[in-house]
């Protein structure tokens, strides 16, 4: 048999290296395997096998760097079944370089801990951003000894607003049908229109407790939204937050006491939001892109295929 290695064709192969590179570039641009197969006149399964060969080699070569110093961790659903329930995957993001570092199939604590222990350079991680998830916090405290946990600002403020709306529904059960008032309560005070202010004033006259809770919510959200503060500037903010937490725990309805207990449990990660500029918004953006990857493929049965596609499109793999 004639030796074809000089022209880039391996033994028992009919495609040269140039064609294989072209297939990889098409995949990185979001082209489906079916369209690639039609363009280059081959079977879709052949395209899939070739992509696996190319991408697995690229992942072995380029994903050998240790854990990022600033990392985000979050979960997202990969399958929503009616019988077996939803399946979730855990995403690790390099927030400094804005790329997906790794993705794991199961969010179970034991399985996730085993996967995290295999990562290189865990002691070099300095900051980990996450939502208010106790299992994630426990794992990070055990496996990343030098990392400081920073709460995600979006999820903290979302918790405050959702607690406020629960209180409003308890005070005025008919408020859920008042779309204009509900929208006004959700809007920041400085962004309210004249019509919204009139609707709120009428609601406050009927329910003074909602007005008190609204003023407290606006003050707390404004405090939690502060960014990029120096160490000395955080001291008065810290005292103010302690005072507001005390009010939530001792001088507020039962619905707000639950919020106060949550803030007290996550007090250190929450106050670090004033110092650190990074948040898990980058991870949430990648989750949106992962949803588009799933829709384009009508779902993935094999998780390794899904992981391969995500790392190629979201991990900045050079093809």
- Cα separation, 156 vs 248, whole angstroms: 15
Same domain assignment for residues 204 and 221: yes
Same domain assignment for residues 200 and 289: no
Same domain assignment for residues 51 and 21: yes
Same domain assignment for residues 298 and 222: no
- Residue 12 is predicted with a pLDDT of 46
What is the domain range of residue 215?
A: 156-274
Q: Is there a domain that residue 80 lies in?
A: yes
- Residue 2 is predicted with a pLDDT of 39
- Of the candidates 260, 259, 310, the one whose C-alpha atom is nearest the C-alpha of residue 287 is 310
Q: Are 72 and 99 in contact (CB under 8 A)?
A: no
User: Could you tell me which residues come within 8 angstroms of residue 96 by beta carbon, excluding any fewer than 6 positions away?
Assistant: 68, 69, 70, 278
- Residue 7 is predicted with a pLDDT of 37
Per-residue pLDDT of the chain (319 residues; tens, 9 = 90+): 334 344 344 444 566 777 877 887 787 777 877 888 888 888 888 887 877 777 777 776 666 678 889 999 999 888 766 546 678 899 999 998 898 998 998 888 888 889 898 888 889 899 999 999 899 999 999 999 899 999 999 999 999 999 999 998 888 888 888 888 888 888 888 888 888 888 888 888 888 998 999 999 999 999 999 988 888 999 999 999 999 999 999 988 888 999 999 999 999 999 999 988 888 889 999 999 999 888 887 888 888 888 888 888 887 665 5
For CA atoms 104, 110, 115, 121, give the dihedral sign.
positive
- Of the candidates 276, 306, 316, 13, the one whose C-alpha atom is nearest the C-alpha of residue 149 is 276
Same domain assignment for residues 287 and 308: yes
Q: Are 29 and 40 in contact (CB under 8 A)?
A: no
Same domain assignment for residues 146 and 184: no
- Residue 90 is predicted with a pLDDT of 92
Same domain assignment for residues 176 and 250: yes
Q: Is there a domain that residue 164 lies in?
A: yes
CATH code of 82's domain: 3.30.420.10
Same domain assignment for residues 98 and 21: no
Q: Exposed, middle or buried: residue 15 (CB in 10 Å: 0-12, 13-18, 19+)? A: middle
Q: Is there a domain that residue 319 lies in?
A: no
- Residue 13 is predicted with a pLDDT of 53
Same domain assignment for residues 102 and 119: yes
Same domain assignment for residues 30 and 169: no
Same domain assignment for residues 29 and 137: no
- Residue 71 is predicted with a pLDDT of 93
Q: Is there a domain that residue 32 lies in?
A: yes
Q: What is the count of structural domains for the chain? A: 3
Of 258, 274, 290, the one marking the end of a domain is 274
pTM of this structure: 0.80
Same domain assignment for residues 177 and 268: yes
Q: Are 68 and 95 in contact (CB under 8 A)?
A: yes
Q: Express each pLDDT in 53-105 by its tens digit.
A: 777 777 766 666 788 899 999 998 887 665 466 788 999 999 988 989 989 98
């Amino acid at each position: 048999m004639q030796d074809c290695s000089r022209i880039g064709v391996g033994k028992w192969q009919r495609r040269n290296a140039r064609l294989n590179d072209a297939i990889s570039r098409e995949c990185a641009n979001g082209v489906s395997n079916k369209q690639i197969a039609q363009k280059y006149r081959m079977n879709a399964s052949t395209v899939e096998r070739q992509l696996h060969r190319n991408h697995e080699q690229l992942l072995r070569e380029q994903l050998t760097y240790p854990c990022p110093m600033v990392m985000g961790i979050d979960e997202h659903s990969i399958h929503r079944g009616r019988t077996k329930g939803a399946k979730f995957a855990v995403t690790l993001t390099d927030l400094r370089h804005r790329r997906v570092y790794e993705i794991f199939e199961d969010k179970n604590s034991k399985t996730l801990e085993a996967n995290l222990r295999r990562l290189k350079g865990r002691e070099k991680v300095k900051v980990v951003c996450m939502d208010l998830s106790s299992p994630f916090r426990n794992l990070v405290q055990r496996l990343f000894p030098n990392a400081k946990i920073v709460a995600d600002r979006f999820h903290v403020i979302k918790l405050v607003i959702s607690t406020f709306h629960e209180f409003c529904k308890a005070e005025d059960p008919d408020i859920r049908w008042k779309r204009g008032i509900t929208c006004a309560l959700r809007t920041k005070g400085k962004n309210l229109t004249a019509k919204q202010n009139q609707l709120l004033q009428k609601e406050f006259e009927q329910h003074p407790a909602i007005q008190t809770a609204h003023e407290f919510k606006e003050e707390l959200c404004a405090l939690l939204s502060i960014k990029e503060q120096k160490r000395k500037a955080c001291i008065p903010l810290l005292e103010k937050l302690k005072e507001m937490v005390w009010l939530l725990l001792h001088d507020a309805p039962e619905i707000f006491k639950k919020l106060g207990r949550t803030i007290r449990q996550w007090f250190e990660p929450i106050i670090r939001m004033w110092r650190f500029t990074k948040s898990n918004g980058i991870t949430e953006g990648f989750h949106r892109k992962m949803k588009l990857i799933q829709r384009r493929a009508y779902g993935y049965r094999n998780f390794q295929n899904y992981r391969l596609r995500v790392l190629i499109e979201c991990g900045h793999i050079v093809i």
